[in-house]
Amino acid sequence: MRPAKDRWWIPTSGAVLAALAIAVAGTASGSCTGTSTRLCEQVGVRCREGQQCAAAQAVCITAGGCGDGSTGPDEECDDGNIENGDGCSSACKFEICGNGIKDVHEDCDGEANCSSDCRFRRCGNGIVDHPEEECDDGRVDTAGCNLDCHYSRCGDGHVNAAAGEECDSADRSQCSIFCRKPVCGDLTINPGEQCDNGTETQFCNVNCTIPACGDGHVNALFTPPNAIATEECDNGNADTVGCNGNNAGRNGPGSCRKPACGDGYTNRAIHEDCDNIGGLDTQACNGNAGGTNPPGSCRNSSCGDGYVNHVAGEDCDNLDGGDTPECNGNNPIMNAAARCKTPSCGDRYANAEAGEECDNGSADTDHCNGNRQATGSCRIPRCQDGYFNQAAGEECEPGVQACSGMKTCNTSCKCVN
């Protein structure tokens, strides 16, 4: 409710307070023409003809005009003063943004580059109010907005730490596609890297190289080509006592595994000549005798190697090839087919340990009994040896072969009258 013009009106502006202070200090003379207040009189202000003192300010105004405390036909407001910045301007217009008047505390009002809050449109004012702005978080980097008022994007050339960027460059040797400094394990194949899965996998080493038997890195998840299992060791491509190599780049069973006869990998460092997967015997290669690995395992099959290879035709095998009563050795002058066989008169292998003096097969000869009889078989013919050998010139053998007619057998195994 507006106060009546014949009442006192107490202003709240700084100017009025100052006026009141002056009034207390001394008494002014004269009067304010056309006003019923004493504000002007109190500070010694005299208004000219056609003027009056403002209703709430010690200042002269046009009589009945803006500042008289009564809203006239051309006025939007009248707060009894002609000060700006208190909601009602010195022209008695509401001080609001959008009225086309640049009021106090406004940068602009209605101009081309003026925002809806009567501030100049510019990056950093916290309002998206310019055609070139995508965002505006107050001229600072935030997770979603750069300080240049554009959305934060990896690759925009601006390093926005608030968005988690460590770098922002097209140079991939310096910056990844995720705007992080390139490092093995960042899930990005950076220059110099062959792969990057962030951790060790069957397809990628933890050092960002493609796994291969012979690369010197043990990848327990990687199985070399045609190998029977994953890597246990990797000493490069060379065989060692503790590790199979990569078979000169051919890999295969047993590659990059701890060596064992039967793994399918011939490791020369542990003196293997051959290695059949599963440790099976073949004609050319000894296996591992069911995992017992006796002497001669994973060696070229040879009579005298101490390994009984039945596939190679062996019945027995004495280490170093010596004869025993149970086994022919590997005497090079004896029948090759009888070597490493169970001794048998007639096998053309004279095994002295088995009691043989000679062995020319099953037939008798003039210097060796055959195998027709149990006693004396494979021995040098002797009269009265219990073996009748006509090929040796015997006509009789006491106890075995008698003379015909009335003849008798003498000590030379001849028939005499």
Domain residue spans of the chain:
1-83, 121-182, 357-417
What is the per-residue pLDDT for 119? 83
- The arithmetic mean of pLDDT across residues 266-274, rounded, is 97
Find tokens 């992080």 and name the residue: 180
Find tokens 């935030």 and name the residue: 142
pLDDT one-digit tens code per residue, 200-250? 999 999 999 999 999 999 999 999 999 999 999 999 999 999 999 999 999
pLDDT one-digit tens code per residue, 374-403? 999 999 999 999 999 999 999 999 999 999
pLDDT one-digit tens code per residue, 285-317? 999 999 999 999 999 999 999 999 999 999 999
pLDDT one-digit tens code per residue, 318-337? 999 999 999 999 999 999 99
pLDDT one-digit tens code per residue, 63-90? 999 999 999 999 999 999 999 989 999 9
What is the per-residue pLDDT for 26? 33
What is the per-residue pLDDT for 34? 46
Work out the angle at residue 109's Cα, subtended by the Cα atoms of residues 104 and 113, and round it to the nearest 5 degrees.
Answer: 125
Where is pLDDT greater, at 8 or 130? Answer: 130
The H or E element spanning position 39 is helix 39-42
- Here the tokens at position 217 are 């890195």
- The b/e string for 176-205 (b: 16+ C-beta within 10 A; e otherwise) is beebbebebebebbbeebeebeeebeeebb
| Average model confidence (pLDDT) across the chain | 89
**Is this prediction's pTM over 0.85?**
no
25 pLDDT more than 60: no
- The arithmetic mean of pLDDT across residues 125-150, rounded, is 93
| CB 190 within 8 Å of CB 178 | no
Task: Count Cβ atoms within 10 A of the Cβ of residue 359 and give its class: 0-12 exposed, 13-18 middle, 19 or more buried.
Answer: buried
Angstrom CA distances, 33 to 49, 82, 183, stand at 7, 18, 86
